[in-house]
Amino acid sequence: MGEQFVEYYYKTFDSNRADLAGLYGQDSMLTFEAAPCQGVANIVTKLQDLPFQRVEHQVTTLDAQPADTTTGAILVIVSGVLLVEEEKRPMSFAQTFQLKPREGSYYVFNDIFRLVYPAA
């Protein structure tokens, strides 16, 4: 489940960010590099307004844990590499999602994205 989601999420992010709307809901939260927003419309606007056109996510690690054994919610944690147009240097990132069940599938309730800079 985690792998399928992550593959779909970054493929969609890297090809047509507007299509990510289907993965969020009215109560979804995104904190992108410390900037918070809430709700599918605000989140998709934020993602579309990011100052790059071409972007590629490469997943390095993927971890998943049950976030709530009663509801079936899942935590999915990704680390990887981000390649942005005109940047010669790839950047490391870490992203945490909580996926909650919705109508036989899942949607993103929590989404926290951070670039991770080299330690030294």
Minimum CB distance to its own copies smaller for 42 or for 96: 96
By the rule CB under 8 A, 98 interacts with its own copies: yes
Nearest residue (CB) to its own copies, 21 versus 62: 62
Give per-residue burial for 79-102: e unless 16+ CB within 10 Å, then b: bbebbbeeeeeeeebebbbbbbee
9-25 burial: b if 16+ Cβ within 10 Å, else e: bbebbeeebeebbebbe
Q: d(Cα 118, Cα 64) in Å, to the nearest integer?
A: 24
Q: Is 55 an interacting residue with respect to its own copies (CB under 8 A)?
A: no
Q: Which of 77, 84, 101, 107 binds its own copies (CB under 8 A)?
A: 77
Site residues, its own copies (CB under 8 A): 27, 29, 31, 34, 36, 60-61, 63, 65-69, 73, 75, 77, 79, 81-82, 89-92, 94, 96, 98, 109-110, 112, 114, 116-120
